């Protein structure tokens, strides 16, 4: 079995009266690309702040690269590449200067990786970061993190400001990079569609708890969507157990369930629901994500 690079158990955290994490548990196997997923405000950045030791949870425990997250040794920290919203503090520096500045902190620095990613920008090396667009800055930041050659990368909203072409380029680059080095990556993004191509393991957070965790493909295999004609009986259905979500439009009821067609049919029949006309609808990862978390 793969070594565990991150493990979080029963994390609880509140900001004042507001409970954000309410018993969140998950673990990230070594060498995986792991998606930390949830709707806006679900607690993804809060979780990353706890993993980095920037925030102490009210209870629960996290271990990162074998150390308690609130006491990570400086040498271990060098092996963590963190992307966050305010990554570049010295934006008066040029592209070339910021690369030299960061290189000094990291013994495994790989200048070629930075040049390969950032050299594709149609921007001169002496351009100051402050004079670059949001997406161009993100490209420089990703180059800096990859050049660090860390054992663990935490990429909080890596897709911010990136256009579709660069997102593709970055995803391909990252997958190859990770395959070559065995880097473990924890990633959040609002572009769930992209994550389907990228991640192999995941946790979906909802109301501060673990909604689903494990291999993405196992989730996609086990989770199904069905439509059937709306009726008084379907109006009485409530999500419970393997029936994860029930939604209605004017004439149709849509069900999301951790049951295949035959089992769902039997389940509904036992509840007195007429299932004539029930059809399974194919789902991609984004559909499944919305299906389990709800549309708001
Ligand atoms: N320092 C803080 N003080 C008070 N509330 C906070 C603080 N930081 C975050 N929150 C609240 O905690 C909740 C979780 O925030 P967090 O940033 O962890 O969510 P997220 O999943 O990263 O969201 P998004 O997808 O929108 O980036 C939100 O409701 C947010 O408003």
Same domain for 193 and 247, yes or no, is no
pLDDT for residue 53 is more than 70: yes
Q: Which of 195, 216, 237 is the last residue of a domain?
A: 216
Report ipTM for this prediction: 0.97
Q: pLDDT tens across 242-295, in order?
A: 999 999 999 999 999 999 999 999 999 999 999 999 999 999 999 999 999 987
Q: Which of 197, 216, 235 is the last residue of a domain?
A: 216
Which strands make up the sheet holding 33-37, listed edge to edge? 80-83, 152-156, 184-188, 33-37, 201-206, 209-215
211-219 long-range contacts (CB < 8 A, ≥24 apart) are: 211/292, 211/293, 212/292, 213/25, 213/26, 216/35, 216/285, 219/288
Same domain for 42 and 161, yes or no, is yes
Query: Which pLDDT score, from 0 to 100, does residue 242 have?
Result: 94
Same domain for 210 and 247, yes or no, is no
Mean pLDDT of 72-87: 88
| pTM over cut 0.95 | no
Q: Which of 163, 191, 216 is the last residue of a domain?
A: 216
Same domain for 138 and 26, yes or no, is yes
Same domain for 138 and 180, yes or no, is yes
Pocket test for ligand 1, best of 45, 159, 186 (most atoms within 8 A of CB): 45
Same domain for 100 and 211, yes or no, is yes
Does the C-beta of 43 come closer than 6 Å to ligand 1? yes
Ligand 1 atom closest to the CA of 38, numbered from 1: 21
Query: Which pLDDT score, from 0 to 100, does residue 23 have?
Result: 96
Distances (CA, A) of 54 to 49, 144, 216: 5, 21, 29
Structural domain harbouring 234 = 223-293
Same domain for 67 and 212, yes or no, is yes
Does the C-beta of 207 come closer than 6 Å to ligand 1? no
């Amino acid at each position: 079995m793969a070594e565990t690079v991150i493990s979080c158990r029963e994390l609880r955290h509140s900001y004042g009266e507001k409970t954000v994490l309410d018993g969140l548990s998950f673990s990230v196997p070594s060498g995986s690309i792991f998606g930390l997923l949830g709707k806006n405000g679900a607690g993804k950045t809060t979780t990353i702040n706890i993993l980095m030791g920037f925030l102490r949870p009210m209870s629960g425990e996290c271990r990162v690269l074998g150390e308690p997250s609130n006491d990570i040794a400086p040498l271990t920290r060098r092996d963590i590449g963190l992307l966050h919203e305010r990554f570049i503090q010295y934006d008066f520096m040029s592209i070339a200067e910021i690369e030299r500045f960061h290189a000094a902190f990291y013994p495994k620095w790989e200048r070629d990786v930075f040049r390969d990613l950032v050299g594709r920008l149609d921007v001169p090396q002496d351009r100051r970061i402050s004079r670059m667009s949001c997406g161009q800055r993100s490209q420089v930041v990703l180059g800096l993190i990859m050049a660090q050659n860390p054992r663990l990368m935490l990429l909080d909203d890596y897709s911010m400001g990136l256009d579709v072409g660069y997102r593709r380029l970055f995803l391909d680059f990252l997958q190859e990079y990770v395959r070559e080095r065995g880097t473990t990556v924890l990633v959040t993004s609002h572009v769930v569609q992209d994550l389907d191509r990228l991640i192999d393991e995941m946790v979906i957070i909802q109301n501060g708890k673990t909604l689903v965790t494990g291999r993405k493909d196992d989730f996609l295999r086990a989770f199904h969507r069905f439509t059937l004609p709306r009726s008084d009986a379907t109006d009485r259905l409530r999500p419970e157990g393997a029936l994860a979500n029930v939604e209605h439009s004017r004439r149709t009821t849509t069900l999301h369930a951790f049951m295949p067609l035959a089992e769902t049919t039997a389940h509904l029949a036992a509840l007195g629901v007429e299932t004539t006309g029930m059809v399974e609808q194919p789902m991609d990862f984004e559909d499944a994500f919305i299906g389990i978390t709800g549309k708001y």
